[in-house]
Amino acid sequence: MNLIAPSLLSADPLHIGRDIAACEAAGADILHVDVMDGHFVPPITFGPGIVSALRRGTSLPLDCHLMVTNPDHHVEQFAAAGAAWISIHAEAAPHLHRSLQNIRAHGCRPGVVLNPLTPLDYAFEAAGEADFILLMSVNPGYGGQAFIPGFLRRCERLRTWLDSNGLGTIPIEVDGGVKLDNVRSIVDAGASILVSGSGLFSGNLADNIAQMRQLVG
Ligand code: DX5
Ligand code: ZN
């Protein structure tokens, strides 16, 4: 089962309730919420308050991608706000094992995120503690960037490693530059959670989600 995860970074902040309802009606599976702290990455985006409001506005699981310097400090608040999945960057979590366990202890599904050139070894080591691995296909911080082509080979390597090490049920999430014209190749490379911001919100959101569903099943 491939999951379509619209990234709310590309939603209209003034009409975010309308946009999440449209995502849900069009058949999105989860909603991707980019949390940026102005430190790990330059922009500042969503905090727990908006996550709590989103929680009241949809029944879809909220997938909170923490692009923050000190993820441990924020997990409790995002869990209380209603996050279902919380992913943290390996580059920001020196005590990654403990940090993933902490997410699970707060009732959320833990995920590990790797920047485009962070060694896959982090995913290999962390896979036993994570419910999903998020591979960035752009450098984090901004929507609308170009997909980094080397992602496909990297995703294949991770998928092969997981499958041959008894971890075939762990999904790979892809984030950055995912569009209708490349999503099929991304799924073929082994990713099954497809985050897309500008690729879905540019033009007609419902049509784009329906087309992506057709492409990925
Ligand atoms: C980037 C964010 C992404 C972003 C993707 O740092 O993590 O989730 O919203 O946007 P697109 O799909 O436009 O590349
Ligand atoms: Zn993201």
Atom of ligand 1 nearest to the CA of 179: 12
Atom of ligand 1 nearest to the CA of 176: 14
Q: Rounded mean pLDDT of 59-86?
A: 98
Q: Band of the pLDDT at 172, cuts 50, 70, 90? A: very high
Do residues 35 and 45 lie in contact, with contact meaning Cβ atoms separated by under 8 Å? yes
Number of other residues whose CB lies within 10 A of the CB of residue 97: 12
* Residues with a known catalytic role: 34, 175
Do residues 133 and 163 lie in contact, with contact meaning Cβ atoms separated by under 8 Å? no
Residue-wise pLDDT tens digits, 123-158: 999 999 999 999 999 999 999 999 999 999 999 999
Mutating to test ligand 1, I would choose from 44, 63, 138, 180 the residue with most ligand atoms within 8 A of its C-beta, which is 138
The residue segments making up the domain with residue 18 are 3-216
Distances in Å between the Cα of 84 and the Cα atoms of 107, 109, 111 are: 8, 6, 11
- Distance CA(72)–CA(157), nearest Å, equals 29
- pLDDT, position 199: 98
Residue-wise pLDDT tens digits, 180-198: 999 999 999 999 999 999 9
Q: Rounded mean pLDDT of 152-177?
A: 98
Please name which of 91, 6, 81, 84 lies closest in space to residue 40, comparing C-alpha atoms: 91
Do residues 212 and 200 lie in contact, with contact meaning Cβ atoms separated by under 8 Å? yes
Residue-wise pLDDT tens digits, 20-68: 999 999 999 999 999 999 999 999 999 999 999 999 999 999 999 999 9
Distance 134 CA to ligand 2 centre (A): 9
- The helix (H) or strand (E) run that includes residue 207 is helix 205-216
Query: Which ligand does the CA of 137 lie closest to?
Result: 1
Atom of ligand 1 nearest to the CA of 10: 9
Distance 22 CA to ligand 2 centre (A): 19
What is the domain count for the chain? 1
Residue-wise pLDDT tens digits, 84-129: 999 999 999 999 999 999 999 999 999 999 999 999 999 999 999 9
Amino acid found at 115: N
Atom of ligand 1 nearest to the CA of 177: 14
Ligand 1: residues within 6 Å at CB? Answer: 7, 9-10, 32, 34, 65, 138, 140-145, 175-178, 195-199
- Distance CA(117)–CA(139), nearest Å, equals 9
Distance 175 CA to ligand 2 centre (A): 6
Residues 6 or more apart from 27 whose CB is under 8 A from it? 4, 209, 210, 213
- pLDDT, position 185: 98
CATH of the domain at 47: 3.20.20.70
Please name which of 50, 19, 59, 45 lies closest in space to residue 200, comparing C-alpha atoms: 19
Please name which of 25, 44, 33 lies closest in space to residue 5, comparing C-alpha atoms: 33
Distance 168 CA to ligand 2 centre (A): 23
Q: Band of the pLDDT at 203, cuts 50, 70, 90? A: very high
Mutating to test ligand 1, I would choose from 9, 19, 36, 65 the residue with most ligand atoms within 8 A of its C-beta, which is 9
- pLDDT, position 94: 96
Kindly state the DSSP code that residue 130 receives in the 8-state scheme. -
